[in-house]
Structures are given as structure tokens and as C-alpha cells.
Chains A and B, each alone.
Chain A
Amino acid sequence: MHQLFPYLFAALLSLPLQLVQPQRQEQVDSLRIALSKAKSPEKVASLNLTLYKKLRKQDSDLAQLHLDKALSLSNGTLSDSLYGRILLAQVEQHLIANNYDSVFHYANKVEDLRKHLDPKLLVDLYSMVGTAHYYKSGYAEAILAHRRAEKISDANNLEAGKAKVFNNIGITYIKMENWPEAKKYMTKSFDLCEKYGIKRGMAFTLGNLGIINKNQHDYYASIEAYEKSNVLLTELRDERGLARNYDNLGVLYQELGNYNKAFYYYDKSLSKANEINDESTATSALHNLAGLYMAKGEFASALANFKKSLAIAVKLDNKDVIRDNHLGLSQLYEQIGKPSLALLHQKSYTHWKDSIINQEHLKNISELEIKYESEKKEKEILFLSKQKLIADDKLSKQRTRIKRLSYSILGITLALSAGILLIIQYLKNRKQKELIETMVEAQMSERARIARDLHDSVGGSLAMTKNVLQEIGEKLREEHPSIQKSIRTISETSDQVRQISHNLMPGELVKFGLVTAINATLEHLPKTSLATQLYTFNMEERIHPTKEIHLFRIVQEAIQNVIKHAQASKLDISLNKHRKYLSLMVEDNGVGIDIDSLQAGIGLENIKSRVSQLKGTFNIDTNKGRGTAISIQIPI
């Protein structure tokens, strides 16, 4: 029987935990009166910010107006601390509105003012940045930001605040399906919530522990966690949370083969969701219920529930659920012998699947500059493959442990076969590693091919079109003045194509290797006061293409870090090939990189991740006002 997609809800505690209290109108009124009398910009901005906070949960539009007003006053006239708090509110608003790039934009501004802000606010800042990365599926960045929040909490004894931070880290690991880490952090979060009596936090973390335990196949622990969570949610009258937990419990029991219990919980989730008009949970419970009916062979009920779920999903425009319901319907019709209807829904399924992918693509393209995007993607793959290696490693260790235990019971006679099995395990593991390496390499060569095609094929055609148009344009200048505009557009497009292609994979790197590519990069740096010099030795012969690409990206990242953060006037890069390894050194004479700053941190993390991918060593010296020296050794 096909396992349908269960929907697991992970409760996210990204925003500061606050009890929702309707603000008394008198309080708001008195603030308004104070605002009408206030003169100094500082006072006006401060009152507007307070009003924003009071109104945020009741009337978000009005709240936003007050925030805009506060923001409009803040060109250099406000104190750094107030300006920082206003910007932080802006970060919060953008996070709620899902404008993640704006979140990052304002977060950077807040970061500049971090010395003037209460550490508690910084914890909120990094939590929100992490949450934005999480929603954008940038899990590596998310964890980095959350860790930063953790560090600040530690340094300032903000133990209670760490409950939230740990939960966020745990949820990110859930998404990455790194269950042991997820469990570690979720448990830490639960303990803190318990210590400080944060009941809602306890309920959420328990629900999340339910998800984690289920995925670790520890079903009893999972049920126990859900049940504890349910008790708390009932106490808190969180009906929405209950409906979700019931739905998740249904999935769990279905997986255990206990259809009666599964049915009971889906039904309970559904009636609760209907009660409070929570359509998103309802559509999920209906879909899961339909799957259950199908598993039991009750096709009529399955059909009715798929259709109900689909109708709500369409209304909510929840594309994932629409897609999955079409898949369910297609399989259902196939089973009851209606191939034409099955085909119809199969087509819809494919359509929605593609549309989801397309939509994501379009969003990506419009949201970010391609350069950033393509590099991020590469990093993600690196990170994921690293994560997978770690996961594989852990899994294999676990298996090995179980095996060892049983072998000792069976006696020494079996030790030999155990040895053989271990070798097989090892070989399997090595094969997996090789597979991942091959995948990364394939991805890189594919990218090189796309870059070349874009550059030569698309670029060439554009260039020729421009030439021909120019020719015609000379003759028709009088009649069709707009032709000049078209020529300009083509010229710009051509430049963009060249840029995109170059960012995907620099032609110099593929054709001539590392030294030429680095030289080209240095040439193309914006003309500033930074004097750069590349020293090379023994680099005439090319090295392995994958190593070249990694090293090139490392150098790029290092240069970017220097330009953005170091305020240096001199940058020396040296690249020397020794007998067994390659030495890369990047030294500048700037102010020293603040490793704690988020941007520089991400850059360095990326460098480290690539170095470890190449099994190399990494060292950084940075002192305030004494420049930065990065030294890397890569075995060859």
C-alpha cells in the first residue's frame, strides 16, 4: 500500500513568547494624546514604536502605519538605541509578511547598531534571521544564526530565552532530518521551558518531540510526548495545537498499523479543526483520513474525503495538499478500475508538481541576484552532502553497535563473520561517499556546461541580433526611433547573460585554470584603494577540476570578506604548490574581521566547509587593527 504524505506540524517559537492580552483602549488613547503633544523626534518616534507594539496583535495595518512613521523620523536624528529598536520591529514585520530578503536587509542594519542594543533584543534579532533562513530552506544559515543567539544568551545569562533558541535549532534539525541533534536540542528546550514554567513552550516542544521520536521509530516515547503535550494544550485551551497533535497521532497509529486508533485521532482532529475553523489542519486530516480509508479498502469513503480535502486545499491555495490529493485520487481510481479518471488526476498531479517547482524557481529568480543564488545552491549541496555523510556515519555506527552486541552473544566463532560484515559496512559507506562526490562533481560539470551554453549560444545569438538590428537601425532611424531602445535592451541582456554565465562558472577557470581565474577576478574588482597582488609558485600545471573550483570559490569568498569587512588597503594572495599539498594564504592589512558579525561568519563558515570537503586544514589569525591572515593547506 502506498504511503501517503503525512503532514507533520512543527510548532515554531520564533517571535518572543508573550501572552496575548488585548490592550485596553484607554491605554492606547492616552498614548495617542501623548503623541499629539510630543515635539522632539526622539519622543515622537518612541511613542509611535510603543503604539506599534500595543496594536500589533489587534490591528496590524494601523500598527504598521505607526512603525512607518517612526521609521520616517530616523535619518540620523534619533539615538542609536531607539533607531535599533525601530529597525528590529521592521525586521519582525517583514518576517510576519514573509519578506525574507527585507528581513536580512534590516537585520544587517540592526547588526551595525548592536553595541547600543540590549542583548535580549539581539537574541530576538538572530532568532528572527534564523527563522527567515529556515523558511527559505537555508538550514545551514538558520542554524548559524540561532547559534549566534545562543552565544549571546550565554554571554548575558539569558537562560530562559534559550528555550526559544533551542526549539528553533531543534526544528531546523527536524527539517534536515537529523533526528539525534533535533532530539538533543528539543529536550534542552523542554527542560528550560519546564524550569521557567513556560507552559506553551512545554506543549510545543513535547509535540515536536513526538515528531522526532516517531521518526526515530520510538513509537511509545512519541505517543507519550504527544499525550503530555495534549494535557498542557488542553489546560492552555490551545484548540489549534490539539487539532494538529491529533492529526500527527493519527499518522503515527496508521504507521503502526493500528487503523482504529488512527481513525479515532483523524476524526478527533477533524472535528476540533472544524470547531475552530482551522481549515489548514482540516484539509490535512481529511487527506490523511482518505488515505486510511483507501488502505482499508473503503474506496467510497476515501473518494469523498479526498474530494473534501481537495476542495478546501483549493480554497486555501495550498499547493502541496492539492498536489497530494490529486496523487491520492489517481491511485484510488486506478484501484477501482477507472483508468481514464486515474490518468486525469495523474495529469493534475504532474501539473501541480511542476507548478510548485516552477513557482519556486520564479520566486528564486525574482527574489535574488543569480550570483548569490547559484553560489548558495552550491554551498547547500556541499552542506547537505556533508550532513548526509555525518548522518550515514552515525547510522552505520548505530548498526555496528547492535551487531556487535548480538555477535558477542553468539560467541567468538562468529567473530570472523562479524569482521566480514563490518568490512561490507565499511565498503558500503565508502561507496556512498564516492556516490556523493560523484554527484557534486556531476553537478559542477553540468553547471560548467550550462555556463558555456549560455555564454556562447545565447550570448552569440544576442550579439548577432544586435549587429543586424544596428544595421537596420541606421537605415530606419527616422521612421522607427524605438529601434535604438531595442538595441540597448539587447545590449543589456547580453551583458546580463555574460554575468550570469560567469557567476555560474568562470570561463577563465575552466579554460586556463586557477591562477588565471584569480587574476581575472582581481582585475574585475571595483577600482578602489585596495591594492591586490597574487603570488604563485609551481602553479603552471593544472590541478584536479573539483579542487580548482573549490579553491576558486574560497578565494572569491575571502576577497569578498576583505572588501566588505576589513577596510584594508593591501591584499596579498599566495598560492604555492608543494610536493604533497597546496598552500593558499590570504593576508590583508585591515581592521581585522569580527568573526562574530553574521556576514563575515557565514563567509568563513563557507570557506571552512569547502576546506573540510577537500580534507584540508584551515587557520585564521585576526587581531583588532592588525589585519587578517587566512592560511589553508589542501592535500593534492
Chain B
Amino acid sequence: MIRIAIADDHTVFREGLVSLLSEDNNVSIVAQAKNGKEVLEILENESIDVLILDIEMPEMDGFDTIREIRQLDIEVRVLVLTMHSSLQFIKNILKAGAHGYLPKDVGKTTLLNALDTIHRTGQFHSPETAKMIMDDLREDTHTTAISPREKEVIQLIADGYTTQEIAEKLYLSRHTIESHRKNILLKLGLKNSAGLVKYAIRKGIVYC
């Protein structure tokens, strides 16, 4: 028997979940909470195997609740059940320390399966979630890197071209080139174009 607590600020949703799970002999709903604070109170007094946790709640939301649970080192598996389904949200949920994630409209079978898996193995990831995360990892995203356009500008500065000449070469205005130059200096932590040339040569961006 898996001991379960449900945390969601919407009564309709909680009651629906209870009626959905109550027929199953494998799980037992021990407690319900409307926000993170109530969750922590429950966890203090009861031993819970799996916590079904919503993200958007008043007082203390799901993210803060998970962080608090980790901080206090409470022994419980957290399955986040939320309306949010974008990759950005899922990544942040897992980063915060949740043991599994499911969207709210999953259906009874998937939910029971997830509760069972998370209880036995310590975590649960649906094939859809796993695929999303893997695809994201595979994609090479160096967001703080120097962009190809910026490399182009560095090259031209190092080659000794003036802003006006660079603008003409790249069919852009002086203003745009100037913005690129400032962004490059910011990213490389440099003060002026002379430093930029040195940096470029050292790093081999420019072929001398």
C-alpha cells in the first residue's frame, strides 16, 4: 500500500483525484493540503511515500515546497502534477528536485502506474517527458557564446577596418556595428577595441 498526500489549492481537483484513486487497492490517500505550508505540516506528522504536488498554489508554491523538503531532508517522493506542460517548466521542476512530472489530464492508468514506479524505483519519467529532455540535451545551445555575427565583427576589427568600413562590408548601419562592438566588449570583459584585437589573436579567432 502506497501512502499518498495530495497538495492542490483547487478543491474540485483534489476531490476528483480522491474519487479517481480511491477505488484502487494499491494506494491510500492519507492527507490533503491546499498549499506548501500545509504540506510541510503534514510531512512533519505523517509518514508519506509519495506526495502529489501542484505548482501554482497560494502562500507557498510547488517550487518552494520542493526546495523546503530537500532543505529539511524529508524522506518523501514528489510527483508534480501540473497544468504547465512546456519544456521550460518541466526542466525547472526537475531542477528543483522533483522525482517525477505529469500533466494534470493524464488519466487514471498512467497516474497509478506513475505512483507505483516512483514508489518502487524512486523516480518516474513518462516517455514523452524523457524524449523532450533528451532532445533538448542533444541540441547544442551555447547561449552565452559569441554569435557568428559577432565573430565576423571581431575578425574585421582585428583586420583593421573602421566601423564605417565594417558597416559597408556587412550591409549594416554604423549604429548596428557599434552595438555589436559594445556587446562583444561586454561579453569578453574588455575595455576597448585594442584589447579586443589582442584577445582575438591570443584565442586564434584571427589568423595572422
Contact = CB atoms under 8 A, between A and B. Distances in A.
A576 interface: yes
A464 B183 CA distance: 49
Contacts of A507: 84, 86, 89
A463 B148 CA distance: 45
A587 B179 CA distance: 12
A196 interface: no
B17 interface: yes
Interface of B: 8-10, 12-13, 16-17, 19-20, 54, 56, 83-89, 92, 103-108, 141, 143-145, 147-149, 171-173, 175-176, 179-180, 182-183, 186-187
Contacts of A512: 88, 92
A526 to B, nearest CB: 16
Contacts of B89: 507-508, 511
Nearest to A519: B88
Contacts of A536: 143-144
Contacts of A520: 86-88
Contacts of B104: 459-460, 463-464
A574 interface: yes
B183 A583 contact: yes
Contact of A456 (B10, B92, B187): B10
Contacts of A456: 9-10, 54, 56, 83
A590 to B, nearest CB: 13
Interface in A605-625: 619, 621, 623
Interface in A488-530: 491, 494, 498, 507-508, 511-512, 515-517, 519-520, 523-524
Contacts of B10: 456-457, 460-461
A572 B13 contact: no
A596 interface: no
A450 to B, nearest CB: 13
A513 to B, nearest CB: 10
A633 B179 CA distance: 9
A79 interface: no
Nearest to B179: A631
Interface of A: 452, 455-457, 459-468, 470-471, 491, 494, 498, 507-508, 511-512, 515-517, 519-520, 523-524, 533-538, 572, 574, 576, 578, 583, 585, 587, 619, 621, 623, 626-627, 629, 631, 633
A631 B183 CA distance: 11
A10 B77 CA distance: 69
B182 A460 contact: no
Contact of A533 (B108, B147, B180): B147
B27 to A, nearest CB: 15
A294 to B, nearest CB: 52
A389 B106 CA distance: 50
Given A512-B92, A621-B176, A464 B56 contact: no
Contact of A538 (B20, B87, B182, B186): B186
A515 B144 CA distance: 12
B179 A461 contact: no
Contacts of B86: 507-508, 520, 523-524
Contacts of A463: 13, 83, 103-105
Closest 3 CB pairs of A and B: A464-B16, A463-B105, A463-B104
A470 B108 contact: yes
Contacts of A572: 147-149
A576 to B, nearest CB: 5
A461 B13 contact: yes
Contacts of A460: 8, 10, 12-13, 54, 83, 104
Contacts of A464: 12-13, 16-17, 104
A621 B108 contact: no
A468 B88 contact: no
B149 A587 contact: yes
B108 A471 contact: yes
Contacts of B87: 520, 523
Given A456-B10, A512-B92, A516-B88, A467 B107 contact: yes
B105 A466 contact: yes
Contacts of A491: 105
A178 B147 CA distance: 46
Nearest to B135: A523
A537 B179 contact: no
A410 B59 CA distance: 63
A631 B173 CA distance: 10
A95 B26 CA distance: 65
B83 A576 contact: no
Contacts of A621: 171-173, 175-176
A522 to B, nearest CB: 10
11 contacts: A460-B10, A498-B83, A507-B84, A508-B89, A523-B88, A535-B143, A585-B179, A619-B175, A621-B176, A631-B176, A631-B179
